Structure 1
Amino acid sequence: MDKADLLIMGHVTGVHGLKGYIKVKSHAASSNTFDSGVRIFVGPSVSRGKWHTIVKTASHKKGLRMLLADVDINAAQTLVGMDIFIPRADLPDLDDDTYYWNDLIGMTVNDINQGVLGTIEHVMATGSNDVFVVTGGTREVLVPSLAHVVLSVDLESRTMTVDLPEGL
């Protein structure tokens, strides 16, 4: 498998219990992304890490608790801070006007009034809507992912056109 086809779908935030469960902050819209039997790649990047198979996943506070087939408590502790990647082919097709965060990172953001704001550095989930963190311009800009703000996204040209509300 080409590692360029891996998308980051979560982050290991800690361990839980003595059996080797890891605590995961999920970036997936559905917890089904991490069903039993799913193979995930865990590491600091797509170029370094290891494949694991999920044995069990359960909701846990604001995230997930996940048991991996070949991970005991000692191995689980070494995974803290690592990212979780899933092959794009294993993810569901998206609805129109819906994008994977990885496809938006690095995209140039243009405001219809202010011009180029910079590029999307990362995306934050806030509960009500995602927020694009745009850097590289004169200042950091937080762009809410709302239909009346994000006017268009062009994956081919890697540009997003926005109409920022006054004050942002």
Structure 2
Amino acid sequence: MKPEECYLLGSVVKPHGLKGFVVAFMDVDDLDDYRKLKTVYLEMPAAPGKLTAYAVEKVQPQTEDRALLKLKGIDRIEEAEPLRNGQLYCPLADLPELDEDQFYFHDVIGYTVIDEKLGELGTVEAFYELPQQDVMGMRYKGQEVLIPVVDELVSHADEETRQLHVTLPEGLLDVYMTPASRERDEPDEVAEP
């Protein structure tokens, strides 16, 4: 299994107790959906790109984004400690099916962004998960424009045409295309006598 065939599930925070459990941060919408997780792939910081499969014995949610995780073959704190800061992955094929108007971020990278009023704008380049909300990075006239990923702005993705349909608020593109005010207000160079 290669990282590009997987999605990032979360990461190992630290060992928990003496019997091989780890505390895992889980970047998921509903942790309860992962209680019956059977396998995870672990990528260690010292070996980027190399995934090791582990059978999952138990997922015990603690908070909305943290769980105690017990991996088969990890039975002591000494075996759990080296897993600290490891990234947890699951195969893309295991992602649940979405409703027709929903999409996974990784599916729309490279799609053309179509605004309801302005027409074709640019290309989806990336998504950023910020504390306040997720934002999409779109390339528009050589600039990266960040668009909040909310239902009011991003309506749907069309897989057949590889288009992402949006309704941008008035002036959003202007914020990115207008030079900063300090650049506009700089005086012209004065010739010395």
Same fold (TM over 0.5): yes
Q: Which residues of structure 2 form unaligned runs of 5+?
A: 173-193
- Give the CA RMSD over aligned residues: 3.4
Q: Is the 8 A contact 2:32 2:61 kept in 1?
A: no
- How do 1:34-49 residues align onto structure 2 when only pairs under 5 Å count? 34-36=34-36, 38-43=38-43, 47-49=49-51
Residue identity in the other structure for 1:31: L
State whether structure 2 residue 170 is matched by structure 1 residue 166: yes
Offset at 1:156? 4.1
- How do 1:1-168 residues align onto structure 2 when only pairs under 5 Å count? 3=2, 6-19=5-18, 20-36=20-36, 38-43=38-43, 47-65=49-67, 66-71=69-74, 72-112=76-116, 113=118, 115-124=120-129, 131-137=134-140, 138-168=142-172
In 2: Cα distance, 1:48 partner to 1:157 partner:
34
In 1: Cα distance, 2:9 partner to 2:157 partner:
24
Residue identity in the other structure for 1:104: V
For this pair of structures, how many residues does the alignment match?
165
In 2: Cα distance, 1:59 partner to 1:116 partner:
42
The sequence identity of aligned pairs, in percent, is: 22
Q: What is the DSSP-based 3-state SS (H/G/I as helix, E as strand, rest coil) of the residue aligned with 2:121?
A: strand
Deviations, residues 10-64 of structure 1 (Å, cap 9, x unaligned): 2215114233333333233332442245111122699511111222222334522
